[in-house]
């Protein structure tokens, strides 16, 4: 049965898909974080909400937060205070527009997919600064400034390592990048793909302000940093929800750019029977697990060590990678064909 | 350059002149760390003057938990005081009771039977392990490593369960008496304690690698918060914190009490006095305590657990200072008795009090994040500081 | 530094006496520790010599506090002897890690106002100890950079550790359990 929709109806369907999928992914990823961290720490994690191994823990948390009192500090700048979580949350959702689950399972295959991704995700930096400044709290201020410095510093390695892939693939569209990747995905071209992947993942953890790069939200020092004064739904949307959604998005983008997206793991014909989005989900889940694994394992880096790492290690490495990728594209373009 | 909304906007020419002169005038901020703060163990307040991320000055403000021990003990007799002082350093509970009873025994010239001596050693060293595991957990947690907490507390459970079979308490024991212990331990206590301690040692290698072998941990703690030996002496810093500064300073070796001179154990020492060395000393003390416990349990004599003690504990007139090696340093009781059932004056010299008084010196010029690492590495307990 | 030389108690006493010749009112051994008494005016010099003196080197600041002797001997079991004790006495304990010498310094303060020179210039640990002794006993330490309350709030009135300060809420309660082992329910202790 042919369904033809007008442009506006198609737009509404796509919006509905995103608004349905993103919270669902967040809940799954959040639950995975609880359980993975728990088992790494020799404990069980949530067991009661929902009955079976506490699957409904985040739903219960969400309900609880809805009931909480909305406290705004008296000295806070009210308009900015209320706007900040929105400024953090909306970019996190908009990133999902271009993530390809399969060749055609994508909300909108923009020609400038990668560019759009990187641009949108960097808008949340302003939200963090807004949150910290408007809270009228010294700890929040310290956290916001740390976050601002960190996020800006780690934008560069992400952009550069993504640029490497764009150069090698010749297109910024995410579907196009997946289809242009030869096998084995990150190991080709030798040396560049793997290093770019590591740089991307490392800066991704820093962009997400997740441990070991979670200085801005260092709980034992400045008690959630920029978001100290937030409570209730503002806190959930601005801090928790956005972070987890961003984390899933980063895992998905990493899988798309470096691990071959919806292509099977090995180009063995029987594996083609398994639909592409299964491969995509597997790869993204693996990267998500890496993010979750790193959190309980390492202590956190100090802010100046963090900055040193970005400016003195990651950026020179990624600049060199861009050079190397350019050389490949110029002198051996045939080797880059899938 | 800061523009404070309360002040007028500076003349742009002045701004440029100032920048040209090279004096970047930054504003100092007074940050109140505590009294409610996750990183300070308890209600401890640090008035920090910070300039950006650098600590210009740090002044500890204590006394939020002052319970007036030295006045309270003047109204209680010695058995009542036992439970009271157990709550000073609440992580090394039975170690607080020990020097007080040793002081009473010194004044009354009571003899403690050998079995009681050995059993006291076992309990005191077990408590040292409990204390050090707790600080292992909290130091990691302050630096962001949240996992060691769970592992350390799992190990503490076994030792606490063994102590509970003997004393009835998991934290505050109240088990020491003049001339020995309250009563003999139940059957199976020694085996349970030995098994628990051996398990701790088995697993310590994993924990060691988890934190000490970690690059990030080393980057956070090496070279941070150096305490020079002379300064340590001058402030009265003792315990693992002093030994991290390469000071061979252990009451158990210098002036052996109980039966410590019969055991073979080393005193771990650091080399440079930074956070890493203090933590390293802490971990290695767990190994040494385990050695002592094993030797004590193997050589445990039989016999009475309480010596010949008069019915009423009434030390004659006199003054004496007895000190022991508490988990956190030198714990001493200066007991002045006038022949009464209650002490006339009992000055309690607690280790954390002297250790924390050295904080302003160590904290000058460090980063805010280093402040957290240094506070964590100074291993203090609020009850010890505030008494 | 590790222990260089473990002195016998008499050796320790004679070394300290030799070092502080003329500055002490009394020096004797008390349970193996050297117990000395000096007047407040000599305190700074005494501590400085103890800290730096060769063969003594009491560099470790153990504690500093005070004793209120005014009701000494009034409890049961007190002696009938009339020993002249000062109303307040500053108590200082130093230790030598190299020679294992313990020195207890008694500084009698005879009358109001109770003033004692500060040894914060000799031992940094005295910075806090003198603040605490000041608020607990009401002793003024001359030369201390910032003699403010350490434990107690700024507006606290009185000096808690003096015997004249009665804790109103504290009634002296005797041991509520059995006084004799035989009286105890289980016959135990």
First vs last C-alpha separation in chain C: 44
Integer Cα distance of B117 and B181 in angstroms: 9
Alpha carbons C55 and C4: distance in angstroms, whole number: 10
Inter-chain contact B338–C150, Cβ cutoff 8 Å? no
Do the Cβ atoms of B315 and B330 come closer than 8 Å? Answer: no
Top-confidence residue, B155 or A6 = B155
* Residues A187, A197: Cα–Cα separation, whole Å: 10
The answer to whether residue B371 sits within a structural domain is no
* Cross-chain residue pair C93–B236, CB shorter than 8 Å: no
Q: Does residue B124 surpass a pLDDT of 90?
A: yes
Give the relative orientation of helices A242-258 and A113-121 as an angle to the nearest 10 degrees: 150
By C-alpha distance, which of B138, B337, B150 is closest to A38? B150
Q: Is B57 helix (H, G, I), strand (E, B) or coil?
A: strand
Of the listed ranges A173-187, B153-167, B276-290, the least confidently predicted one is A173-187
Percent of chain C with pLDDT over 90: 7
Q: Tell whether the model's pLDDT for residue A258 goes beyond 80.
A: yes
Give the pLDDT of residue B40: 65
Least confident span in A44-58, B93-107, B181-195:
A44-58
Q: Express as a percent the part of chain C with pLDDT over 70.
A: 82
The residue in chain A having the minimum alpha-carbon distance to the alpha carbon of residue B207 is: A297
C184 touches C178 (CB < 8 A): yes
Give pLDDT, residue B123: 92
Please state, in angstroms and rounded to a whole number, the distance separating the CA atoms of residues B65 and B43.
7
Instruction: Report the candidate in C11, C12, C22, C23 with the shortest Cα–Cα distance to residue C47.
Output: C23
Q: Any chain A CB within 8 A of the CB of B4? A: no
Q: How many CA atoms lie within 13 A of B272 on its CB side?
A: 9
At residue B4, the pLDDT reads 39
Q: Most confidently modeled of A63-67, A272-276, A312-316, C27-31?
A: A312-316
From residue B379, alpha-carbon distances to A318, B128, B133, C32 in Å are 42, 13, 11, 31
- Looking at residue A215, its pLDDT comes to 75
Q: Can you tell me the mean pLDDT for A74-87? A: 86
Closest CA to B51 of B368, B372, B354, B386: B368
Interface ipTM: 0.84
**What DSSP state is assigned to residue B42?**
S
Is a pLDDT exceeding 90 seen at residue A135? no
Q: Which residues of B touch A223 (CB under 8 A)?
A: 37-38
Cβ–Cβ below 8 Å for C180 and B311:
yes
Answer whether C123's CB lies under 8 Å from B231's CB.
Answer: no
For residue A37, the chain B residue with the least C-alpha distance is B147
Distance CA B198, CA B286 (A): 11
Pick from C75, C150, C160: CB nearest B68 = C160
Q: Is the CB of B147 inside 8 Å of chain A's CB atoms?
A: yes
Flag whether B6 is in a domain: no
Give tens-digit pLDDT for B292-320.
Answer: 999 999 988 888 888 888 888 888 888 99
Tell me which chain B residues have a C-beta less than 8 angstroms from the C-beta of A218.
144, 369
- Give me A82's structure tokens: 């209320």
Residue B345 domain-assigned (yes or no): yes
**Residues in chain C closer than 8 A to B182 (CB atoms):** 189
Q: Is the pLDDT reported for residue B364 higher than 90? A: no
Residues of chain B found within 8 Å of residue A42, distances taken between Cβ atoms: 150-151, 154
B303: left (phi over 0), alpha (psi -120 to 50) or beta: left
- Residue-wise pLDDT tens digits, C56-74: 888 899 999 999 888 887 6
- Answer whether C123 sits within 8 Å of B234, measured CB to CB: yes
pLDDT band at B22 (very low <50, low <70, confident <90, very high): low
Unique residue bearing structure tokens 């060293």? B125
Q: Is residue B52 part of a domain?
A: no
Of B38, B145, B149, nearest to A219 by CB-CB distance is B38
With beta carbons under 8 A apart, name residues in chain C contacting B316.
77
User: Residues 126-165, chain C: which have Cβ within 8 Å of B?
Assistant: 127-128, 136, 149-153, 160-161, 165
- Nearest chain B residue to A44 by CA distance is B150
Query: Is the CB of C23 inside 8 Å of chain B's CB atoms?
Result: no
| B59 inside 8 A of chain C by CB | no
pLDDT at B119: 92
pLDDT > 60? residue B30: yes
Percent of chain B with pLDDT over 90: 22
Question: What is the torsional sign of CA B316, B321, B325, B331?
Answer: positive
pLDDT score, position B351:
92
pLDDT band at residue A337 using 50, 70 and 90 as cut-offs: low
- Residue B334 to residue C65, Cβ atoms within 8 A: yes
CATH code of the domain containing B274 = 1.10.645.10
Instruction: Delimit the domains of chain A by residue range.
Output: 77-336
For residues A31-57, give the mean pLDDT: 87
Residue numbers in B near C79 (CB within 8 A): 317, 339
Chain B nearest-CA residue for C90: B347
Closest CA to A165 of A143, A183, A189, A145: A189
User: How does the average pLDDT of chain A come out, rounded?
Assistant: 83
Smallest Cα distance from B128 to chain A, Å: 24
End-to-end CA distance of chain B: 45
The answer to whether residues A189 and A330 touch, using CB atoms and an 8 Å cutoff, is no
Give the residue, C120 or A338, on which the prediction is more confident.
C120
Distance from CA of B268 to the nearest CA of C (A): 13
Domain membership of residue B381 (yes or no) is: no
Average the pLDDT over A236-265 and give the result: 85
Residues 37-66, chain C: which have Cβ within 8 Å of B? 59-63, 65
Classify residue B267: in a domain, yes or no. Answer: yes
Classify domain C9-71+84-156 by CATH number.
3.30.460.80
The dihedral through the CA atoms of A131, A133, A135, A138 has a sign that is positive
Assign B1 a pLDDT band (cuts: 50, 70, 90). very low
Please name the helix (run of DSSP H) or strand (run of DSSP E) that holds residue B161, with its range, or none. helix B147-167
Residue C26: strand pairing partners: C37
3-state secondary structure of A286: helix
Name the closest residue on chain B to residue A303, using Cα atoms.
B369
**Contacts A138 to B, Cβ<8 Å:** 29, 31
C78 touches chain B (CB under 8 A): yes
Provide the percentage of residues in chain B whose pLDDT is more than 70: 92
Stronger pLDDT, A179 or A159, i.e. the higher one: A159
Q: Which of B246, B225, B223 is nearest to B358 (CA)?
A: B225
Report the pLDDT averaged over residues B124-150. Answer: 89
Of A116-125, B175-184, B335-344, C65-74, give the lowest mean pLDDT range.
C65-74
From B311's Cα to the closest Cα of chain C, the distance in A is 7
- Taking alpha carbons only, the member of B87, B343, B69, B77 closest to residue C167 is B69
Question: What percentage of chain A carries pLDDT values higher than 90?
Answer: 11
Give the pLDDT band of residue B24 (cuts 50, 70, 90): low
What digits encode the pLDDT tens for the residues B254-275?
888 888 888 988 889 888 888 8
Domain membership flag for residue B28? no
Return the pLDDT at A220. 46
The pLDDT of residue B129 is 93
Structure confidence at residue B376 as a pLDDT band (50, 70, 90): confident
In angstroms, the CA C26 to CA C9 distance is: 16
Is the Cβ–Cβ distance between B301 and B120 less than 8 Å? no
B128: pLDDT strictly greater than 90: yes
- Give B210→chain C minimum CA distance, Å: 32
DSSP for chain C? Answer: --------HHHHHHHHHHHTTTT-SEEEEETTEEEEE--GGGHHHHHHHHHH-TTT---EEEEEEEEE-TTTT-STT---------SEEEEEEEEETTTTEEEEEEEEE-SSS-EEE--TTT-TTHHHHHHHHHHHH--EEET-S----SSS-TT--S-TTSTT---TT------SS-SSGGGSTTS--
Average pLDDT over all residues of chain B: 85
Give exposure, A41-80, as e/b (b: 16+ Cβ within 10 Å).
beeebbeebeeeebebbbeebbeebeeeeeebbeebbeee
Chains with ≥3 CB–CB distances under 8 Å to C: B
In angstroms, the CA B165 to CA B176 distance is 15
Strand order across the beta sheet in which C60-68 lies: C26-30, C33-37, C101-109, C88-96, C60-68
Least confident of A79-83, A223-227, B51-55, B213-217: A223-227
Omega of the bond prior to C125 within 30 degrees of 0, cis?
no
CA distance B236 to C93: 11
Q: How many domains does chain B have?
A: 1
Chain B residues in contact with C103 by the CB 8 A cut-off are none
Nearest to B71 among C65, C128, C161 (CB): C161
pLDDT at residue A275 in the model: 79
What is the C-alpha separation between C98 and C2, in angstroms, rounded? 6
The whole-number average pLDDT for the span A211-235 is: 72
Which 90-119 residues of chain B touch chain C by CB within 8 A?
106
- Give me the helices (H) in B109-146, please: 114-143
Closest residue in chain A to residue B30, using alpha carbons only? A138
Furthest CA-CA distance within chain C: 60
Contact yes or no for A169/A162 (Cβ under 8 A) = no
Q: What is the pLDDT of residues B66-114, one digit of tens each?
A: 888 888 888 888 888 888 888 888 888 899 999 999 999 999 888 899 9
Q: Check if C75 contacts B (Cβ < 8 Å).
A: yes
Please tell me the distance from the alpha carbon of residue A217 to that of residue A91, in angstroms, as a whole number: 20
More confident residue, A31 or C163: A31
Flag whether residue B336 sits within 8 Å of chain C, measured between CB atoms: yes
Rounded average pLDDT over C157-181: 69
* C168 CB within 8 Å of a chain B CB: no
Q: What is the DSSP string of B277-322?
A: HHHHHHHHHHHHHHHHHHHHHHTPPPS-SB----SS----SEEEEE
> Residue C183 pLDDT more than 80?
no
């Amino acid at each position: 049965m042919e369904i033809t929709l007008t442009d506006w109806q198609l737009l509404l369907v796509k919006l509905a898909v995103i608004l349905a999928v993103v919270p669902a992914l967040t809940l799954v990823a959040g639950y995975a974080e609880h359980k993975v961290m728990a088992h790494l720490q020799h404990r069980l994690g949530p067991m009661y909400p929902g009955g079976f191994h506490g699957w409904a823990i985040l739903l219960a948390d969400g309900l609880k937060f809805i009931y909480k009192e909305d406290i705004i500090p008296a000295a806070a700048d009210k308009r900015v205070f209320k706007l900040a979580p929105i400024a953090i949350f909306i970019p996190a959702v908009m990133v999902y527009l271009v993530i390809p689950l399969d060749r055609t399972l994508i909300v909108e295959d923009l020609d400038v997919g990668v560019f759009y991704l990187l641009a949108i995700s960097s808008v949340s930096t302003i939200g963090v600064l807004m949150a910290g400044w408007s809270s009228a709290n010294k700890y929040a201020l310290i956290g916001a400034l740390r976050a601002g410095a960190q996020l800006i510093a780690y934008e560069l390695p992400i952009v550069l390592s993504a640029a490497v892939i764009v150069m090698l693939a010749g297109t910024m569209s995410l579907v196009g990048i997946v289809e242009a990747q030869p096998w084995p995905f990150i190991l080709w071209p030798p040396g560049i793909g793997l290093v770019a992947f590591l740089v991307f993942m490392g800066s991704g953890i820093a962009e997400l302000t997740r441990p070991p790069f979670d200085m801005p939200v260092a709980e034992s020092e400045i008690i959630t940093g920029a978001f100290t004064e937030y409570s209730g739904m503002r806190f959930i949307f601005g801090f928790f929800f956005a972070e987890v959604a961003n984390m899933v998005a980063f895992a998905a983008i990493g899988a798309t750019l470096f691990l071959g997206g919806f292509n099977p793991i090995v180009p063995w014909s029987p594996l083609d029977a398994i639909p592409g989005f299964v491969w995509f989900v597997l790869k993204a889940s693996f990267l998500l697990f890496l993010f979750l694994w790193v959190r309980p394992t390492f202590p956190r880096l100090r802010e100046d060590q963090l900055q040193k790492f970005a400016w003195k290690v990651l950026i020179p490495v990624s600049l060199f990678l861009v050079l190397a990728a350019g050389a490949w594209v110029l002198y051996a373009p045939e080797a880059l064909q899938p | 350059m800061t523009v404070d909304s309360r002040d007028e906007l500076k003349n742009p020419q002045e701004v440029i002149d100032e920048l040209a002169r090279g004096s970047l005038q930054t504003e100092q901020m007074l940050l109140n760390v505590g009294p409610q703060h996750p990183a300070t163990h308890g209600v401890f307040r640090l008035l920090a003057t910070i300039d950006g991320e650098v600590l210009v000055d740090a002044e500890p403000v204590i006394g939020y938990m002052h319970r007036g021990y030295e006045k309270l003990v003047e109204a209680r007799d010695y058995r009542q005081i036992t439970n009271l002082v157990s709550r000073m350093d609440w992580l090394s509970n039975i170690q607080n009771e020990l020097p007080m009873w040793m002081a009473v025994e010194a004044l009354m010239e009571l003899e403690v039977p050998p079995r009681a001596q050995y059993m006291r050693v076992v309990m005191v060293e077990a408590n040292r392990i409990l204390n050090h595991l707790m600080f292992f957990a909290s130091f990691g947690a302050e630096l962001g490593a949240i996992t060691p907490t769970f592992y350390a507390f799992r190990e503490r459970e076994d030792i606490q369960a063994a102590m509970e079979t003997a004393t009835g308490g998991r934290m505050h024991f109240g088990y020491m008496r003049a001339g020995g212990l309250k009563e003999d331990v139940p059957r199976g206590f020694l085996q349970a304690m030995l098994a628990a301690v051996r398990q701790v040692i088995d697993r310590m290698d994993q924990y060691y690698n988890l934190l000490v072998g970690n690059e990030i941990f080393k980057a956070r703690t090496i070279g941070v918060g150096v305490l020079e030996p002379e300064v340590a002496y001058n402030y009265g810093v003792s315990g693992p914190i002093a030994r991290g500064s390469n000071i061979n300073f252990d009451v158990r070796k210098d002036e052996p009490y109980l039966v410590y001179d019969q055991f073979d154990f080393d005193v771990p020492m650091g080399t440079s006095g930074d956070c890493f060395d203090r933590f390293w000393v802490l971990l290695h003390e767990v190994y040494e305590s385990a050695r002592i416990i094993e030797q004590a349990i193997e050589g445990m004599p039989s016999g009475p657990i309480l010596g010949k003690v008069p019915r009423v504990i009434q030390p004659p007139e006199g003054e004496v200072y007895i000190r022991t090696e508490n988990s956190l340093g030198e714990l001493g009781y200066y007991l002045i008795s006038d022949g009464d059932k209650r002490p006339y004056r009992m000055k309690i010299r607690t280790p954390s009090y002297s250790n924390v008084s050295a904080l302003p010196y160590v904290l000058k010029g460090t980063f805010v994040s280093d402040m957290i690492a240094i506070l964590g590495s100074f291993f203090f307990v609020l009850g010890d500081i505030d008494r | 530094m590790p222990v260089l030389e473990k002195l016998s108690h008499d050796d320790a006493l004679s070394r300290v006496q030799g070092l502080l010749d003329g500055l002490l009112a009394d020096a004797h051994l008390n349970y193996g520790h050297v117990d000395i008494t000096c007047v407040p005016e000599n305190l700074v010099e005494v501590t400085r010599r103890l800290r730096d003196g060769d063969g003594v080197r009491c560099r470790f600041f153990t504690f500093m506090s005070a004793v209120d002797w005014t009701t000494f001997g009034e409890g049961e079991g007190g002696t009938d002897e009339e020993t002249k004790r000062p109303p307040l006495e500053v108590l200082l304990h130093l230790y030598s890690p190299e020679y294992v010498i313990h020195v207890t310094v008694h500084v009698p303060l005879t009358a109001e106002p109770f003033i004692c020179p500060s040894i914060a210039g000799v031992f940094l640990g005295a910075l806090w100890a003198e603040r605490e002794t000041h608020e607990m006993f009401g002793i003024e330490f001359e030369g201390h950079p910032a003699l403010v309350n350490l434990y107690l709030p700024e507006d606290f009135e009185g000096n808690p550790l003096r015997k004249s300060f009665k804790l109103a809420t504290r009634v002296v309660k005797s041991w509520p359990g059995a006084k004799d082992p035989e009286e105890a329910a289980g016959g135990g202790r």
